[in-house]
Copies of this chain bind each other. A is one copy, B any other.
Amino acid sequence: MDTRERLIESTRELLWERGYVGTSPKAIQQRAGAGQGSMYHHFAGKPDLALAAVRRSAEEMRAKAEGELSGPGTAYERIETYLLREREILRGCPVGRLTQDPDVIADPLLRRPLEETFGWLRERLARVLAEGRERGELASGLDPVATAATIVATLQGGYVLARAAASVEPFEFAIKGVLGLLAAQTTPSA
**Which residues of A pack against B, CB within 8 Å?**
17-19, 21-22, 92, 96-97, 99-103, 105, 111, 114-115, 117-119, 122, 139, 141-143, 145-161, 163-166, 170-171, 173-178, 180-182, 184-185
Residue from B96, B102, B157 within 8 A of A22 (CB atoms): B102
Count of chain copies: 2
CB distance from A99 to the nearest CB of B (A): 4
Residue of A159, A170, A184 with most chain B CB atoms under a 10 A cut-off: A170
Q: Please state if B164 and A149 are interface contacts (CB–CB under 8 Å).
A: no
- List 23 A-B residue pairs with CB atoms under 8 Å apart, sorted by A's residue number: A17-B102, A21-B21, A21-B22, A96-B164, A105-B163, A114-B164, A118-B165, A119-B164, A122-B170, A122-B173, A143-B180, A145-B173, A146-B180, A148-B173, A150-B181, A154-B154, A154-B157, A156-B156, A156-B157, A157-B158, A157-B160, A160-B160, A178-B181
> Which partner residue on chain B sits nearest A165 by CB separation?
B115
Residues of chain B contacted by A115 (CB below 8 angstroms)? 164-166
Contact status A149-B173, CB under 8 Å:
yes
Give the residues in chain B near A155, CB-CB below 8 Å.
153, 157
Distance of A109 from chain B, by nearest CB (Å): 13
Whether B174 lies near A146 (C-beta < 8 A) is: yes
Given contact pairs A22-B21, A180-B147, A105 touches B153 in the complex (Cβ within 8 A): no
Interface of A, secondary structure class, is helix
Give the distance in Å from the alpha carbon of A96 to the alpha carbon of B92 in the complex. 13
